[in-house]
Structure 1
Amino acid sequence: MSRLPAPRRGNRLLAGGLAALTATGGLIGFVSSASAGTPPAGPGNIEVFPSRDMVAIEGYTAQAGQTATLTVSRGGETVGTATGVVDGTGFMEWNHEATPRPGGGFDGCFTDVTPDIQAGDDVSVSFSGSPLVDGMKVSSAEVTGVTASEPAEGNVNTVTITGTYGPDTDLGRFAVEVVNPTMRDEGNIGERAIGWSPNEAAEPTQGYTVEGTAANGEFSVTFGGLSPSDQQLVFDGEKVALSWMADATAVEAQLGLTLAEYGLVGGGAPGCPPGPDGAEPPAGEFSVVWDNQAQATVTWASAAPVAGGEPVDGYSIEAIDQTADAAGAQRLSGYRVGPDATQVVLDGLDPGALYDIEVRSIVDGELGAPFALAGTASPTPPDGETDTTAPVLTSTPELNGTTAVLADSRTLTLSADEGTIYYTLDGSPVTTQPNGNVPSPTAKIYQEPIPITAADTAITIAVIDTAGNATHASGVVSPRPAAAAVAPTGSAVTSFAGAGPDAANPQGRVSLGWNPVPDATEYRVRVYLRTDATNTNTLQPERDVVVTGTTADVTGLPKSAPGQRWVFRVQSKTPAATTYSPLTTGVNVVLPGDDIGLDLAQFRTGDEFRISGSGTVPGATITVHRPNATGTGPVTTPIPGYPSATVGAVEAPANAGPWSIVLDPAPTTAPSQIWIKSSQGAVAGPFTVDVR
């Protein structure tokens, strides 16, 4: 599976994996946690290509081999879903190149329909073996036009890219690029990608100049000083507006990245389902009850419109005479009804004819596939006998006709050995006659468990088979009362980030997760400052976080002072009471002042040992350590004879400063793995040494 050319990034990889030690010595792995509409925390990232309706994830090495579930939603409504197995590098993509699946179908595609991904859509990804949920919101920035000056001799030619952006776009996290690998191999430019960003100082360029503006929702970028051939290469290149939601500190990445490519067409990639505009009208289920030989009552379940597609305009219901005339023509008789209808009576039919009944949805004048027949087919009676056996209805919970029954799952499940199940919840009759065998106009076809949300919900049920035998039932059902709130189990830190260099504006973050509590509607994270010397935990109510899901981020935390640590405890709340549950046992974190990482550990035998990376706090001292006996962290003291390094000034866009350690000549033997520690508290590793 090939990947798209990556957008232009900085050349420093901050960390292959981050970790930090709690006060009790426990190791916490660096794993990000976010939710739809907020950017990932890294190292995993989501990249959306709305022009081609493509999504890619990368950096999820901790989830390698797990099944990722991708969801695209708009205004709270799901418009697209997909699944795929994360590869060994932490990468997966959808709607780029479909991969044939053994037994038919394709991997790398959305399910049923490819969504038309738009600005403002929420994109989230979850994993089968992890509580992690990452998300982002698609940006509005896009390229709207490309113009070129009239070609002329000399390096005087230009290409101008224009576009728009909305208030959601942070110009500090915005860039315009042209990608054309041929520019690197031919002409004077010498790079596969060139670009402009309003948040970066101009750098010297070769073979071209670049200048741009971005204000009041519009941008314009001009690449100039081009030869005629270079002008053509730039004009032919892929023009992309890049905008992202956050800058990573743990890895070099633009988190929650939207890449809006100019001039590309959306919809399904080859082998993948079409987009909403090309999708077939939806199909559903229907049933037929013959009132007499010349009249049939046809009932159907409303067909859900294709996600993101046009709504259902109506339904076509036809009786098709099975006998064709000499020319092969078959007589049709039927109706077309509006989108809210769920039943029609086909009358005036020939009593001597045999008919096939078809129900189809209509979308924008196009007929969909025939609906499937609902229910369970009745067994064929022996020759000469008539089926007089009524269907057997089963309900969970069991209805008793009068007293309210509690639905433990808050649903009512129905089944029958034959026939089609109909029901009403509004007090109206389920059949046209008491104990009859023709469904009423308000009857609904049972397709899935019925949600029971209100106390004393009255339900009327009828099961009707093809011979006209009917079984009736009724009852009153109430939902099970909400469970009492209890302290969540499994609370743990899923990731954290250092406080950063500005003590007056700390940026420390701790992300937590826990197991869901039955019926919980919200959770509260309580934050305490633990002082070991006095054995006290001081509640910091201003740092409380209330969420509805099972993850939370506590932000704005300063670095832990010596002898202090942060303690996090979680409570749940359910509709059973207005108060919160007891607290969980505390989760402890000694929050470092920084994040550090490594991008090179290269040992050249007989030459030198070069170790380099980045950190988020300038002036921090970096030391190199061997792994401890269990390999879960570093030993306390640095490797003897290894010098330390100092983190340099912070550089954009990574928001990190470089550091470097060089041992020249190289030591006699190379360590197989190393850890690095910062004087600001961060710990990272283990890292495998590249021995040459």
Structure 2
Amino acid sequence: MKSAFHEKGQPKSRVQHYGRTAVVATVSAVLGTTSLLAVPAANAAVPTFPDNVVVFPDRDFVTIEGYQDYVGQTATVEVRRPGVGIVGSAKSVVAAGDVAFEINHPGGVCWGAGTGLNVTPDILPGDNVSITFAGTEAGTTTVQDAFVTSDSTLEGNTLTVRGHVGSGVNTSQMEQRIVEPALKDTPVGRRDVRAAPGELAQEDGYQSRLQFGLDGPDTFTATYIFADRATAEIAGDAGGERAMSWQVEDADANRQGLTIAEFGELGGPGMGGCPNGPLQSGPAGPTSIIAAKVSGDVKVNWTPAQAVPGTPAITGYRVTAVAKTVSGSEQVESGVRISNPKASSTIIRGLKADEEYDVYVTSVSSVGETFPASHAIPAEDTDAPTVTATPNGGTFPTAQKVTLTASEAASDIYYTLDGTDPVSGGVNAPHALLYTDPIDVARTSTVTFAAIDPSGNVSENGNVTFTITDDPVPAAPVFTAAPKAGQGTAEVSWAAPDAGAPGLTIDGYSVQAYTADGVAFGAPRTVAGTVTTLVYDGLNGDTAYQFTVRATNINGTGPESAKSEPVTVQGALVANAGPDQTVARGTSATAVTLDGTGSTATGATYLWEQVLTGPTDPDKVTLDAGTTLKPTFSLPVYRTPMTNKPLTFKLTVTAGGSTRTDEVKVTPVPDRVTIGLAQWKTGDLRIGGTSNVVGGTITVRVGGPTGRILGTAPVTAAVAPETGGVYSLRLRNAAAGTTNPGSVWIESTVGGTAGPTTVANR
């Protein structure tokens, strides 16, 4: 099928206007059955049709298209830079329509919305822009390394655009484009001109092609030869030349993982109120600031700041005490500058004991200081802190890491390993160690510790003794799958962990069940060391359980694994509605069979019901033999207001006065349809496009997805060597109307929908 980007009509998706010129954002691509070409560097899932993540790196702008299965849900978009991390993020609610939402563009949300990462990322080639819902990824676009490097040059009727293309870009999946609405009134007859790889192509009013390597490695050259000088000048004056590159193109020529680089556009905030870019923002400030008065000094503690990824490194801090007494218009200010970015405390000395002060701490980087500064008010404190140790001593077969925690934030904890006091006379002893990270205890030792809070109060000494037998035990196993429920049983499986040391073997495993309240259920069950699965029996039916497993070697039992996913064990009465199904819609009604054969078979009755949204649910179907284990229904041909949302069916099993229920989802799979041609002139309206299924019927509507029907057209087989189907609707005279209908939507009897698409004037 021919790409809509090479039709004279409008592209498959809407046209967005951004100032004097316009940017064309394509509709997404779907992963078809033909071979796909993708950027080698992309290792995340590229969005699939009709969804897309479109990135405009020069303007740090992202458009989220499609995702209509998530309307009303909150999506998280993150910009990840390899080797750096997340450099930008935002949350937004998916809206109905082709554009789900936009980031950093009028009408959309700012970067940082809902995430607190208040910086507009400087999006660069190689960045990964992902969309997730409730932590589950729904698509990632890798920003392509292709962009225009200079304004176009005009010689005679020939216009040349030059640019850069990185080695990781698939050059067969590139296009250079100049967008200028004034071109519609020239022999071009449309709002843009385009250059694609290959031989010189003839278009209305011009010829064009895109070549690579003419100006050296990693370069591209787009050449346009116009039929007349006036048209060439209009294109040359357009500005904003762009390079378009995409990761995947399917059999329908939809373009996925699209990057649109626009020459001359500025990055940073795309609308008022959005945060600055990484080089315009002051550094992140320190947190958890505590200021304590100690005689004539103020001791200040804080948690060191973390630079926002992509921003200049934090080089240090400025700490200032400002007297509250005002003399005329002046206040006394004292402070220190610290050049250590990991510093977490300082003392401002020489202050008046009878004066009150405000304390301010700012981070410092090459772009300035935190604004506003983080603020603290010094306070008197006479309460001594306490310190706890985790683990709190004991006998262990291997080395331990000991965590010390003070009850008061910003307290300094000191410790020794020889039994001596870590604090003497209110200060740390010379041989004491300052606690900064968990302590490694590799041999039998006693850890003695005490804390000094910011006001100088000292805790009592604490000590914990560790006996390290140095007998390695196995590591904690990891479950390989969710437990499988049976009747009063659950089957659990895990992977064999490290046995503890070379030459050791695992002798066996013990599996412990836990109820939903976290209480152990009975004694652990054991299996031999070569066995990594267990059917845990004797469980209570209709009850949820989680499991842990430990491995044992000759030295003893290793640590407990993390808990498995929860599983609800079947009781004496079982309702099993079978696995969820996906069913392709057909050109006629499609028969579907539900399967409850995993349910109780003896002395039971069955009732299947469709779970509806209400009495007028447009997706209601009629169940045949709904009181048997395997009822059927017909999935009808698609017709508005029907949807392609999953159909939910509930099975109720009754026996001996008890009932159990289970649900199953049947998800219709529609055809993929496009609008490749949408043109109007007085007395003549043409709508055409494609479907991947032959034999359906396309309905064309105006005024919205449920609006007035303009007409219908059958989907017939495409002419070889093209695959799939095509349709065409042409209305003449009065049927075409006396005005352009504006936008059109289509639906297929096989379930596919598309639109809105703007109807172009001819």
Scaled by the length of structure 2, what TM-score is found? 0.55
* Alignment map for 1:562-577 (pairs within 5 Å): none
Aligned-partner Cα distance in 1 for 2:423–2:238: 72
Deviations 1:48-100 (A, max 9, x none): 11101111111211122111111111124111111111111262211112558
Cα contact 2:384–2:459 (8 A) shared by 1: yes
Aligned residue for 2:276, secondary structure, equals coil
Aligned-partner Cα distance in 1 for 2:418–2:725: 74
Deviations 1:305-352 (A, max 9, x none): 122110012111233344344562524242333323333333344445
- The one of 66, 80, 88 aligned to 1:80: 88
Aligned-partner Cα distance in 1 for 2:52–2:417: 51
1:659 matched to 2:726? The reply is yes
Letter paired with 1:46: V
Change (3 A) 1:611 1:230: closer
Change (3 A) 1:214 1:325: same
Aligned residue for 2:121, secondary structure, equals coil
Report sequence identity in percent: 23
Aligned residue for 1:135, secondary structure, equals strand
Pairwise CA distance, 1:587: 9.2
Aligned-partner Cα distance in 1 for 2:49–2:580: 22
Change (3 A) 1:371 1:161: same
Aligned-partner Cα distance in 1 for 2:305–2:150: 40
Change (3 A) 1:88 1:333: closer
Letter paired with 1:268: P
Corresponding residue for residue 323 of structure 1: 325
* Alignment map for 1:142-291 (pairs within 5 Å): 142-149=147-154, 156-184=156-184, 186-199=185-198, 202-215=200-213, 216-225=217-226, 226-228=228-230, 230-249=232-251, 253-270=254-271, 271-285=273-287, 286-290=289-293
Pairwise CA distance, 1:114: 0.8
Corresponding residue for residue 345 of structure 2: 343
- The one of 106, 122, 127 aligned to 1:116: 122
Higher relative contact order, chain-length normalized (CA < 8 Å, sep 6+): 1
- The one of 94, 101, 107 aligned to 1:92: 101
Cα contact 1:142–1:261 (8 A) shared by 2: yes
Aligned-partner Cα distance in 1 for 2:494–2:448: 26
Aligned-partner Cα distance in 1 for 2:15–2:112: 16
Pairwise CA distance, 1:139: 0.8
Deviations 1:452-509 (A, max 9, x none): 999999896747375846577676999x974541423799xxxxxxxxxxxxxxxxxx
Deviations 1:78-135 (A, max 9, x none): 111111111112622111125589xxx996998410111101111111013x844311
Cα contact 1:459–1:474 (8 A) shared by 2: yes
Aligned residue for 1:145, secondary structure, equals coil
Aligned residue for 1:276, secondary structure, equals coil
Aligned-partner Cα distance in 2 for 1:476–1:246: 61
Pairwise CA distance, 1:586: 9.6
Aligned-partner Cα distance in 2 for 1:44–1:287: 49
Cα contact 2:179–2:238 (8 A) shared by 1: no
Letter paired with 2:274: C
Pairwise CA distance, 1:46: 1.0
Deviations 1:157-177 (A, max 9, x none): 333210011111101101100
Cα contact 2:323–2:333 (8 A) shared by 1: yes
Change (3 A) 1:467 1:425: closer
Cα contact 1:137–1:256 (8 A) shared by 2: yes
Aligned-partner Cα distance in 2 for 1:63–1:281: 36
Change (3 A) 1:295 1:588: same
Q: Which has the larger radius of gyration?
A: 2
1:646 matched to 2:636? The reply is no
Pairwise CA distance, 1:268: 1.5
Cα contact 1:176–1:221 (8 A) shared by 2: yes
1:403 matched to 2:406? The reply is no
Deviations 1:422-480 (A, max 9, x none): 55899899x983594889998689xxxx99999999896747375846577676999x9
- The one of 78, 94, 104 aligned to 1:71: 78
Change (3 A) 1:65 1:444: farther
Aligned-partner Cα distance in 2 for 1:306–1:298: 24
* Alignment map for 1:396-475 (pairs within 5 Å): 399=390, 401-403=392-394, 416=407, 420-421=410-411, 433=423, 436=426, 462=451, 464=453, 468=457, 470=459
Corresponding residue for residue 137 of structure 1: 142
Pairwise CA distance, 1:269: 1.6
Corresponding residue for residue 623 of structure 1: 695
Change (3 A) 1:455 1:404: farther
Scaled by the length of structure 1, what TM-score is found? 0.60
Cα contact 2:103–2:109 (8 A) shared by 1: no
Deviations 1:272-315 (A, max 9, x none): 1111011122101233344x423343332221112211001211
Cα contact 1:18–1:597 (8 A) shared by 2: no
Corresponding residue for residue 627 of structure 2: none
Aligned-partner Cα distance in 1 for 2:234–2:415: 67
Cα contact 2:148–2:164 (8 A) shared by 1: yes
Change (3 A) 1:235 1:687: closer
Aligned-partner Cα distance in 2 for 1:126–1:454: 41
Pairwise CA distance, 1:412: 7.5
Pairwise CA distance, 1:403: 3.3
Aligned residue for 1:97, secondary structure, equals coil
Cα contact 2:88–2:117 (8 A) shared by 1: yes
Bigger Cα displacement from structure 2, 436-445 vs 210-219: 436-445
Aligned-partner Cα distance in 2 for 1:370–1:231: 50
Aligned-partner Cα distance in 1 for 2:239–2:119: 30
Deviations 1:336-393 (A, max 9, x none): 333233333333444454443322111116222365468x998x8xxxxxx6444577
Structure 1, gaps ≥5 residues long: 20-33, 151-155, 381-386, 492-516, 522-572, 603-608, 616-620, 627-641, 665-671, 677-683
Aligned-partner Cα distance in 1 for 2:115–2:394: 49
Deviations 1:251-287 (A, max 9, x none): 6531111111100111122221111011122101233
1:48 matched to 2:55? The reply is yes
* Alignment map for 1:520-559 (pairs within 5 Å): none
Corresponding residue for residue 69 of structure 2: 62
Aligned-partner Cα distance in 1 for 2:138–2:183: 39
Letter paired with 1:161: V
Pairwise CA distance, 1:146: 1.6
Aligned-partner Cα distance in 2 for 1:483–1:464: 41
Letter paired with 1:74: R
Once superposed, what is the RMSD of the aligned Cα atoms? Answer: 5.7
Cα contact 1:187–1:230 (8 A) shared by 2: no
Aligned-partner Cα distance in 1 for 2:207–2:689: 32
1:597 matched to 2:595? The reply is no
Cα contact 2:29–2:255 (8 A) shared by 1: no
Cα contact 2:415–2:449 (8 A) shared by 1: yes
